[in-house]
């Protein structure tokens, strides 16, 4: 499965647009990691606990989006984007979305 942020797949033509596909996950902060990140926030530096959490969330959202595209019979997902939003004070949603397409053979 080809996943791209561009509006086309280089060297291929789109045979059919299958529609919007998306995958999301909602992650909450774990209390222990929150304390460690809070300490790092005081002294400065990367908040590695949150970086790791967001990286895992992106991978999960992409996986779910790709699974949805496969169910439609897609060869690729184009124009992929990510967005985040706060669900509650301690949790955030990460959404991956794009357009599932069938490519000409």
**Chain centroid to CA 102:** 21
Rounded distance between C-alpha atoms, residue 85 and residue 50, angstroms: 15
In sequence order, the 6+-apart residues with CB closer than 8 A to the CB of 83 are 94, 95, 97
Instruction: Report the predicted TM-score, pTM, of the whole model to 2 decimal places.
Output: 0.84
Number of continuous H segments (helices) and E segments (strands) in the chain: 2, 4
Question: Tens of pLDDT along 2-23?
Answer: 999 999 999 999 999 999 999 9
Domain boundaries, the chain: 2-103
2-103: CATH topology: Translation Initiation Factor IF3 (3.30.110)
- The lowest-confidence range among 7-11, 13-17, 31-35, 85-89 is 31-35
């Amino acid at each position: 499965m080809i996943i791209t942020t561009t509006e086309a797949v280089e060297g291929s033509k789109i045979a059919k647009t299958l529609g919007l596909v998306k995958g999301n996950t909602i992650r909450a902060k774990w209390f222990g990691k929150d304390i460690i990140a809070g300490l790092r926030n005081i002294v400065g530096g990367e908040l590695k606990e949150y970086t790791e959490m967001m990286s895992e969330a992106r991978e999960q959202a992409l996986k779910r989006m790709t699974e949805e595209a496969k169910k439609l019979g897609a060869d690729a997902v184009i124009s992929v984007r990510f967005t985040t939003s706060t669900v509650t004070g301690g949790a955030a949603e990460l959404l991956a979305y794009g357009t599932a397409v069938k490519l000409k053979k």
